[in-house]
Chain A
């Protein structure tokens, strides 16, 4: 069968970096091809060339036998390529229908073509099994629904080859499952798909064929049925990576204790009457489907929100009203959910980010003046100790990769021997090597007696790291279960809000 899409000898350089090195790849009709690689392997660059966002330095793209003009997204769209970006490009104040029409219909037709467009959208939604209310505002939709709109947008423009960049990065496990079922349906309707991922289980579960990208080169192509996760992991990283394993250890005294804590006004509680205790030398895992109060719990424990009722104590002293600086002052470390928006300030240097939390301490400033030499020495020691690659104290932080940025955020917290640490989604978006490093650091902190509260939407991660697990559902917490008793079925029930001996179970 003729391939629908061929990439031939694609090479793209950014300065000294070769992001894509002579890549040749083809996609057959009705096939799902997974493009697997670590962050920085060149996956996104390759797809941007295919879509016409970038022009390749060498090589060309052929679609249905025709060569696409380089660097022209509109030509790619017209030829039938649709792209669903990792970060959605939707106007939140408009409806689904508006968003679908924007960009594909002329502005003057936005009104007159509505009825026609609505019918077309209905037809596509039905045919591909993507139900959505055309008149719903984007701001009211869940993340999974928004992604559906992005896919519909591409299909509305008659895409026949669909590219999905890290489609599950923002989805919880069941949503991701549903997405892959939908994608499979779509291939039956004649679409061909490429999805980019660094998650092995997804690639194994959802693709027909896998191309592994490393250092800008295709290092292997396999039929999914003829390979396994271990082989792919090794191909992707270039060496064997094992995640560290938690060993049993005795826990100490209670460190952080929440009793009946609520956050948010009466009637609109973001956290509702939650109680938990984190002991020295243990990791307490909080699992749940995204959007069930994790954000509020994270805000509470990082000092960005305060309890409206109940008590939060750290080492016996009240910690509910401390605020960010107060928490740092009592050695409570915080690793936020989103490194880019809360963890670091990308435009500032590594040393400035490393010290910002503690800048008013005497080791970093004297009478209001920053002790720059001391700050830089401290940053250099963090870089060394936490193996932050590609960084000097002067490096602008946004130039670091996600994993190294996370090591910086983690490092500035862990190097002060914190009593308590909040870690919120610590490995989201990280590649396998970086995940192993982050897990090792968390387990090392646990071994040194830190009390750690881990909020994670990755079940494997929570089970692998945690001593005890609680589920968060609609702002409420389940009773804790020991990790050894937490089989997937029980966790699944807990995350659905069913837990024994609880009056609030729904």
Chain B
């Protein structure tokens, strides 16, 4: 048995790959569910009902998908340029923290304050990735290591701030930062639910990222640099400028996810506000084969697993950590599926 490179990948295969990957992941995880003493089919049915079974469930799921779309876009744009940003989690927290800090006592009307706070989150996220990008360009420091480790630095920094200068005195000792002013809370998309207009911002961001990557000179140069850096440089593409541009955009998207989550859902920042949005964003980007429109779909899928697993845990007693297992398995099976979209098996 051997692998032969495909000269052409049919569209059906591009669509089929993530579907097959998800199917395989669910089958693999079924073993674990069964080991917990529950019928996997019943458990998965419970999961679907919990995420999509009611209006409230769907809005909860979409609330969860909103930051995931943004962190997924952050990973997609960086990975396209072969900039391995594993630090969306940290950038998310820095975006959230900056937004809460500035949004607590900003004396501006809402229509001006909201965009300004989103911009603040974006700048904070971008700055956190600018460092690793600079180190990579200047000294060839591996950004996988620096971005990954900065996640822990960022979360500890958030902890420091909410124990200190940004501590919310009205939270009765609960470790949370001061909340953003009510004027800057994002309005509800569906009344009496947690779903907020941040979802629309996230979808708009996906459209803008697609436009940048697919239609602009910067996007073309990004793709060129990612696929063959040497040939891109030969053709006159400035690698440092391209990589730095991609880093700023990627960090900004992850920072925006944090800003939107604070303004839309949590109001204050805690060190546990992200159930791994940054890491799950990597899975969302991979499942979508780094396609911005696909990221929206895969983020919704991952949110379904996360929200559904909570419901499944309540109904069947299977620990909801199974969601992390399923999402991680999806990344592995998707990597295999991607192999088969570019190679065929020959006997």
Q: Please pick, from A71, A302, A347, A372, the residue contacting B234 in the complex, using a CB distance under 8 A.
A: A302
B216 contacts partner chain A, Cβ-Cβ < 8 Å: yes
Q: Report yes or no: B237 in contact with A356, Cβ–Cβ below 8 A.
A: yes
- A residues 348-396 in Cβ contact with B at 8 Å: 348, 352, 356-357, 359-360, 365, 368-370, 372
A54 contacts partner chain B, Cβ-Cβ < 8 Å: yes
B190-222 interface code vs A (CB 8 A; 1 in, 0 out): 000000000000000000000000011111110
A112 contacts partner chain B, Cβ-Cβ < 8 Å: no
Nearest-CB residue, chain B, relative to A324: B236
- B residues 301-347 in Cβ contact with A at 8 Å: 346-347
**With a CB–CB cut-off of 8 A, which chain A residues contact B64?**
none
Q: Report yes or no: B216 in contact with A370, Cβ–Cβ below 8 A.
A: yes
Q: Report yes or no: B233 in contact with A324, Cβ–Cβ below 8 A.
A: yes
A331-342 interface code vs B (CB 8 A; 1 in, 0 out): 000101000011
How long is the Cα–Cα vector from A407 to B232 in the complex, in angstroms?
19
Q: Report yes or no: A304 in contact with B234, Cβ–Cβ below 8 A.
A: yes
Interface residues on A, range: 20 to 34
Residue total for B at the interface (Cβ-Cβ under 8 A): 24
How long is the Cα–Cα vector from A71 to B346 in the complex, in angstroms?
9
How long is the Cα–Cα vector from A254 to B232 in the complex, in angstroms?
30
| Contacts between the two chains (Cβ within 8 Å), count | 73
Q: How far is the CB of B223 from chain A (nearest CB, A)?
A: 7
Q: Please pick, from B231, B237, B347, the residue contacting A343 in the complex, using a CB distance under 8 A.
A: B231
Q: Report yes or no: A359 in contact with B221, Cβ–Cβ below 8 A.
A: yes
Q: How far is the CB of A50 from chain B (nearest CB, A)?
A: 15
Nearest-CB residue, chain B, relative to A328: B236
Given A348-B223, A348-B224, A368-B218, CB of A342 within 8 Å of CB of B2: no
A294-329 interface code vs B (CB 8 A; 1 in, 0 out): 000000001110000000000000000001110010
Given A54-B346, A347-B227, CB of A360 within 8 Å of CB of B217: yes
Q: Report yes or no: A345 in contact with B228, Cβ–Cβ below 8 A.
A: yes
**With a CB–CB cut-off of 8 A, which chain B residues contact A370?**
215-217, 219-220
Q: Please pick, from B223, B236, B346, the residue contacting A55 in the complex, using a CB distance under 8 A.
A: B346
How long is the Cα–Cα vector from A356 to B228 in the complex, in angstroms?
12
How long is the Cα–Cα vector from A443 to B237 in the complex, in angstroms?
30
How long is the Cα–Cα vector from A54 to B346 in the complex, in angstroms?
8
**With a CB–CB cut-off of 8 A, which chain B residues contact A369?**
215-217
Q: Please pick, from A55, A341, A360, A368, the residue contacting B228 in the complex, using a CB distance under 8 A.
A: A341
Given A304-B233, A336-B234, A370-B215, CB of A359 within 8 Å of CB of B220: yes
Nearest-CB residue, chain B, relative to A359: B217
B7 contacts partner chain A, Cβ-Cβ < 8 Å: yes
Q: How far is the CB of A125 from chain B (nearest CB, A)?
A: 32
Given A53-B2, A348-B224, CB of A342 within 8 Å of CB of B234: yes
**With a CB–CB cut-off of 8 A, which chain A residues contact B347?**
55, 71
B126-170 interface code vs A (CB 8 A; 1 in, 0 out): 000000000000000000000000000000000000000000000
Q: How far is the CB of A412 from chain B (nearest CB, A)?
A: 10
B235 contacts partner chain A, Cβ-Cβ < 8 Å: yes
**With a CB–CB cut-off of 8 A, which chain A residues contact B232?**
345, 356
**With a CB–CB cut-off of 8 A, which chain B residues contact A491?**
none
**With a CB–CB cut-off of 8 A, which chain A residues contact B233?**
304, 324
**With a CB–CB cut-off of 8 A, which chain B residues contact A303?**
236
B230 contacts partner chain A, Cβ-Cβ < 8 Å: yes
A346 contacts partner chain B, Cβ-Cβ < 8 Å: yes
B1-23 interface code vs A (CB 8 A; 1 in, 0 out): 01000010000000000000000
Q: Report yes or no: B217 in contact with A71, Cβ–Cβ below 8 A.
A: no
How long is the Cα–Cα vector from A310 to B224 in the complex, in angstroms?
33
Q: Report yes or no: A341 in contact with B231, Cβ–Cβ below 8 A.
A: yes
Q: How far is the CB of B231 from chain A (nearest CB, A)?
A: 5
A435 contacts partner chain B, Cβ-Cβ < 8 Å: no
Q: Please pick, from A15, A54, A328, A365, the residue contacting B217 in the complex, using a CB distance under 8 A.
A: A365
**With a CB–CB cut-off of 8 A, which chain A residues contact B224?**
345, 348, 352, 356
**With a CB–CB cut-off of 8 A, which chain B residues contact A334?**
234
- B residues 273-314 in Cβ contact with A at 8 Å: none
A49-77 interface code vs B (CB 8 A; 1 in, 0 out): 00001110000000000000001000000
A344 contacts partner chain B, Cβ-Cβ < 8 Å: yes
Q: How far is the CB of B224 from chain A (nearest CB, A)?
A: 5
**With a CB–CB cut-off of 8 A, which chain A residues contact B230?**
341-342
How long is the Cα–Cα vector from A376 to B315 in the complex, in angstroms?
57
**With a CB–CB cut-off of 8 A, which chain A residues contact B236?**
303, 323-325, 328, 356-357
A399 contacts partner chain B, Cβ-Cβ < 8 Å: yes
Q: How far is the CB of A54 from chain B (nearest CB, A)?
A: 7
Q: Report yes or no: B216 in contact with A345, Cβ–Cβ below 8 A.
A: no
B227-267 interface code vs A (CB 8 A; 1 in, 0 out): 11011111111100000000000000000000000000000
Q: Report yes or no: A357 in contact with B217, Cβ–Cβ below 8 A.
A: no
Which has the most chain A C-beta neighbours within 10 Å: B7, B219, B223, B235? B235
Q: Report yes or no: B217 in contact with A348, Cβ–Cβ below 8 A.
A: no
Q: How far is the CB of A386 from chain B (nearest CB, A)?
A: 18
- B residues 68-124 in Cβ contact with A at 8 Å: none
Q: How far is the CB of B59 from chain A (nearest CB, A)?
A: 37
**With a CB–CB cut-off of 8 A, which chain B residues contact A357?**
235-236
How long is the Cα–Cα vector from A324 to B231 in the complex, in angstroms?
11
How long is the Cα–Cα vector from A373 to B215 in the complex, in angstroms?
11
Q: Report yes or no: A356 in contact with B220, Cβ–Cβ below 8 A.
A: yes
How long is the Cα–Cα vector from A399 to B8 in the complex, in angstroms?
9
**With a CB–CB cut-off of 8 A, which chain B residues contact A336?**
234
Nearest-CB residue, chain B, relative to A73: B2
**With a CB–CB cut-off of 8 A, which chain B residues contact A55?**
346-347
**With a CB–CB cut-off of 8 A, which chain A residues contact B218?**
368
Q: Report yes or no: A368 in contact with B216, Cβ–Cβ below 8 A.
A: yes
Q: How far is the CB of A491 from chain B (nearest CB, A)?
A: 30
**With a CB–CB cut-off of 8 A, which chain A residues contact B238?**
325
Q: Report yes or no: A71 in contact with B216, Cβ–Cβ below 8 A.
A: no
How long is the Cα–Cα vector from A303 to B237 in the complex, in angstroms?
12
Instruction: Contacts A55-B347, A352-B220, A356-B232 known; list 5 others, CB within 8 Å.
Output: A15-B7, A54-B346, A343-B231, A357-B236, A399-B7
A-B contact pairs, 7 of them (CB 8 A): A53-B2, A71-B347, A303-B236, A325-B238, A341-B228, A352-B224, A356-B224
Q: Which residues of A contact B (CB under 8 A)?
A: 15, 53-55, 71, 302-304, 323-325, 328, 334, 336, 341-348, 352, 356-357, 359-360, 365, 368-370, 372, 399
A-B pairs with the 9 shortest C-beta distances?
Answer: A325-B236, A324-B236, A356-B235, A345-B228, A342-B234, A347-B227, A357-B235, A345-B231, A365-B217
